[in-house]
Amino acid sequence: MSIFKKRQNPTTMDTHYFENIAFTCTNNIGILSIRRPNKMNALDAQTLKELADILIHIEEDRDCWGLIITGMGEKAFAAGADISEFYGKSQKEGQEIAQWGQKHVFDKIENFQKPVIAAINGYALGGGLELALACHLRIASKNAEMGFPEVSLGLIPGYGGTQRLPALVGKGKAMEMILTGERISAEDAYQWGLINEVTGINDLVHKTKEKLNRMFLHSRTALSTAIKTIHASTLPNNKGFQIEIENFGKLFSTSEFEEGVAAFLEKRKPRS
């Protein structure tokens, strides 16, 4: 049985609505939006469960070649985990929640076989910023603000922020962001290497789609292999180099490789 509820509106027939998220796939680009604008798109348990379910579907959807994750409205991408669900939780419960979320949502996105871009349209705080960090690229509108306010709640990031942030901005900047809990602007985030691009609010989705479309000019097998291999760069003992050699070799057996090389030699564009 389908996990989707389809809205009976002919103009949005391809949009699948859950309680707190919506997903649509047009021209091979999936757009997944978090829809709790009254709560700054905070990630409660229901939203995380829905994200976990839809990610499985999107990964299997052959028509969806890449994914954009964004938040509904102009105020927030996601202002973190839903703080109202924290109260009264035990140490064990805290660990279980963090572990479940990391496995089914955040790590799942990071290891996605298709390119995933966060379109950060406003506040990306705490778990919301961790969601963006799990994506392969981040593009933010000028009004976006990013930060890890967890220390103000007596917490630390729990959805991978302490690990993924230093990999992007270095340990020093990561320490500064996490220890002060202060928010930074999209422009600073760009200067720090936290995001890939800054756009106007009205251009955000368009620019993000453009970025994916530029990737779609290339072999999709090469794209997914590149994602996997880049992740291997954090493995111990320089293991990533060996994985690169193996994955490089594997691509020689693909039809996309044959066509890509033939097209170059024949001075024409590759046929998809």
Residue ranges in contact with ligand CO8 by CB under 6 A: 39-40, 42, 79-84, 94, 97-98, 101, 123, 125-127, 149-150, 153, 157-159
Asked about 150 being catalytic, the answer comes back as yes
Residue at shortest CB range from ligand CO8? 126
Q: Of 9 and 84, which has the nearer Cβ to ligand CO8? A: 84
Q: Beta strand pairing status for 123-125 and 76-78?
A: parallel
| Of residues 115 and 157, the one with the C-beta less far from ligand CO8 | 157
Indicate the residue among 2 and 84 with the shorter CB distance to ligand CO8: 84
State the catalytic residue, choosing from 74, 85, 150, 176.
150
- What separation, in Å, do the N-terminal and C-terminal C-alpha atoms of the chain show? 33
CB of 19 to ligand CO8, least distance (A): 16
- Residue pair 71/78 in contact (Cβ under 8 Å)? The answer is yes
Catalytic residue of the set 50, 74, 130, 145:
130
- φ/ψ bin of 33: left (φ > 0), alpha (ψ from -120 to 50), beta (otherwise): beta
Contact 142, 195 (CB under 8 A): no
Distances (CA, A) of 90 to 17, 105, 156, 187, 208: 33, 22, 15, 38, 40
233-241's contacts with Cβ under 8 Å and 24+ in sequence apart are 234/167
Q: Strand pairing partners for 68? A: 31, 117
Q: Is 246 a catalytic residue?
A: no
- The catalytic residues are 130, 150
